[in-house]
Amino acid sequence: MQAVILAGGFGTRLRPLTSTRPKPLIPFANEPFLLHMLRQLASSGFNDVVLSTMYLPEAFDELIPAARKVGVEVVLSSEDTPMGTSGAVKRLSHLLTDTFMVFNGDILVDLDIPKLVSLHRERDAAASLALVRVPDPSAFGLVPIDAEGRVQAFLEKPGPDEEAWATDLINAGVYVLEPSVLDHVPPGQPSSFERHLFPSLLASGAPVYGYEVQGYWRDLGTPIAYLSAQADLLEGRLSLPISATERGRGQWFSDAAEVEDGAVLRGPVMIGPSARVERDARIFGPSVLGPGAVVAGGARVERSVLLAGARVERGGKVSDSIVGADVVVGSGAVVSDGAILGDGVVIDEGNVLGGGVRVAPGVHLPPGAIRV
């Protein structure tokens, strides 16, 4: 059985991290996020995956060898222009000759994939959707189902001022589809699963069913979600294989990671390959240090993610923030409160960044240039 992963979006909500890499390749627990999805597919018996890309397509080449190591052969197919979710799959229809699955490339979901496929076949469905319950459905399109699980409608976001909703089930971004459903997608035109294909299927009377996800689900499209999901992993609310060794409760160390005597680590932390935490540095979890990252003596990192090669100099402080690859947070500089620093940023001493500020890749802030 084949799987299609949609990975063509621009990832604008995660800028500036996505200014230099596609969103599905942003490191998650020190591995490209997409690799976790491929590992999940391999464990469910999939070894044939088509990856639909568009933005920075050449960046996905690096994923091919890692995918093979986990047992998946990946075919890359890049769009020239955005065709929407179902439009992107329609473009691949010549490759999809039997029942297949579609995954959004920015969704983290703990799903019994074989069970979903089995129900799809038992029901003789044209399309089966993974659905998830959310406490506040006002931000999502809703998918009400009947007692047998058959989808009744696809409803637009109800809006926060409405007191009641038809359901609290939303689209989880995972589908099992028959090739025939792509006949409902016009060739060469942008088309969306939620707005076009699925409503068209319902209007035609085709059997469309929902399957409620019982495990973990999160859309990783925002900085808050990105940080929260890694906290969930480190704190045990999410279960994924981790390419590091746990030493003590909730602390993982990769090969050649170095924590000097006198450094303080509290709470769940992950220290990446060849990363270094110097004497008198303090790391408070949940935090992740990427490969080669350095936290100097007297520096402090709290509830944050540092990507590969990032460095926090003596007296620097990073809290509740995301620090891109090869960033330097200078001595005494403060980065806090949801700040996001793009790759290669240099923050000299005397700068205080907070309030969700985003700094584009390669920017150099001289001493005392900004206080937010």
For residue 114, what is the domain's CATH number?
Answer: 3.90.550.10
Q: Reply yes or no on whether the pLDDT at 165 is more than 70.
A: no
Of 86, 76, 87, 9, which Cα lies nearest the Cα of 49?
A: 76
- For the CA atoms of 26, 242, 215, 340, what is the dihedral angle to 10 degrees? -30
Residue 206 lies in a domain: yes
| 353 in the same domain as 276 | yes
Q: Confidence band (pLDDT; 50, 70, 90) for 244?
A: confident
| 200 in the same domain as 276 | no
Cα–Cα distance between 290 and 325 in angstroms, integer? 8
Mean pLDDT on 207-234: 93
The CATH number for 273's domain is 2.160.10.10
Q: What is the pLDDT of residue 164?
A: 47
| 175 in the same domain as 98 | yes
Residue 87 lies in a domain: yes
* 207: containing domain: 2-212
Residue 222 lies in a domain: no
| 188 in the same domain as 122 | yes
Q: What is the pLDDT of residue 160?
A: 54
Residue ending a domain, among 212, 227, 258, is 212
Share above pLDDT 70 across residues of the chain, in percent, rounded to a whole number: 97
Of 241, 242, 243, 238, which Cα lies nearest the Cα of 110?
A: 238
Residue 52 lies in a domain: yes
Q: Reply yes or no on whether the pLDDT at 253 is more than 70.
A: yes
Residue 225 lies in a domain: no
Task: For residue range 271-324, list pLDDT tens digits in order.
Answer: 999 999 999 999 998 999 999 999 999 999 999 999 999 999 999 999 999 999
| 299 in the same domain as 259 | yes
| 246 in the same domain as 138 | no
Say which range, 68-72, 187-191, 235-239, 241-245, has the weakest mean pLDDT.
241-245
Residue 275 lies in a domain: yes
| 305 in the same domain as 207 | no
| 270 in the same domain as 165 | no
| 37 in the same domain as 162 | yes
Q: Confidence band (pLDDT; 50, 70, 90) for 1?
A: confident
Q: What is the pLDDT of residue 163?
A: 46
Contacts for 265-268 with beta carbons within 8 Å, 24 or more apart? 268/231, 268/234, 268/235
| 258 in the same domain as 197 | no
Task: For residue range 97-134, list pLDDT tens digits in order.
Answer: 899 999 999 899 989 999 999 999 999 999 999 999 98
Residue type, 49: V
Task: For residue range 12-69, list pLDDT tens digits in order.
Answer: 999 999 999 999 999 999 999 999 999 999 999 898 999 999 999 999 998 999 999 9
| 347 in the same domain as 301 | yes
Residue 219 lies in a domain: no
Domain count, the chain: 2
Residue 53 lies in a domain: yes
| 271 in the same domain as 142 | no
